[in-house]
Amino acid sequence: MSHVPSATRALRVLRFLAARPGPVTAGAVARALELPRSSAYQLLQAMAAEGFVTHLPEERRWGLGVAAFEVGSAYLRHDPLERLARPLLARLPQETGATAHLGVLHGRDTLYLLKERPAHAPALITGVGVRLPAHLTASGRALLAHLPRAQVRALYPDTARFVSRTGLGPGSPGELRDTLALERRRGWSAEEGQVTEGFRSVAAAAFDHNGTPVAAISLTVPQARPVTDTALAGRVRDAAAELTRRLGGRTPTPPVEGPRENDDAPTRT
């Protein structure tokens, strides 16, 4: 690995340590980066001198240092997700005549971070800072569709966790699972009248470098608007793909669908 620049090796060390549940030995770092043990030790010492890693002599292990925490905190202070997404959202209302949102998951809710609306667009409940049940919103389901199944089951273990605003939308774990499977396969989510009567939305997820969904971009229009969900979905998928690229992320390969779990039978809404 002598052809790899030292800066690249240092960044790989930081990423490796960040992914571990606790401090690790120099040998573990050397094996992970395919480096000679002596080179790994020298690299760790240099990074420790700058505060990016910390040596625990009694344990003979290495962990992240304060400087790494400071960099991560600075990243959060700069609101990178919103800054990177804002120009993309600003164009969508002009191009589609729809209201555009950026949403993230907050527990079982969709939390809206950004909203851009065209001139003379009708008012919507989905303002910045508003939270709505994720299983009802297109944005929320676009994110839920790409989470591990165990995580979705933990969020929605039984029918008591499901609420309804208009009498429409998934109302049980089985129905939600089937809806998410369909939307995961086609690459976008849609809801019609589940959040607000008379309106429909489509959404697609953006991903980080691990292929984890971090945010969703959505478009909302009146149900009577003469534009298809497929046409709107093409725009949000393009915008979400561009946000993924800006985040340095990657779109995951759709997982192979496993056998159905034995729970309640889904019902249509």
C-alpha 222/C-alpha 208 separation (Å) is 31
In 3D space, the residue among 97, 148, 150 whose CA is nearest the CA of residue 121 turns out to be: 97
Residues 133 and 241 in one domain: yes
Which backbone phi and psi does 122 adopt, to 5 degrees? -65, 150
DSSP assignment string, 127-150: -TT-EEETTTSHHHHHHHTTS-HH
Same domain, 71 and 94: no
CATH number, position 50: 1.10.10.10
Residues 68 and 91 both lie in one domain = no
The answer to pTM > 0.75 is no
Q: Per-residue confidence of the chain (269 residues) as pLDDT tens digits?
A: 444 578 888 999 998 998 888 899 999 999 999 999 999 999 999 999 999 999 998 899 999 988 887 777 666 565 688 989 999 999 999 999 999 999 999 889 999 999 999 887 777 777 788 899 999 999 999 999 999 999 999 999 999 999 999 999 999 999 999 999 999 999 999 999 999 999 999 999 999 988 999 999 999 999 988 889 999 999 999 999 999 999 999 988 765 444 344 444 333 33
**169 occurs within a structural domain:** yes
Residue 254 lies in a domain: no
Q: Within 13 A of 19's CA, how many CA atoms are on the CB side?
A: 11
Residue 57 belongs to domain spanning: 6-75
Length of the chain, please?
269
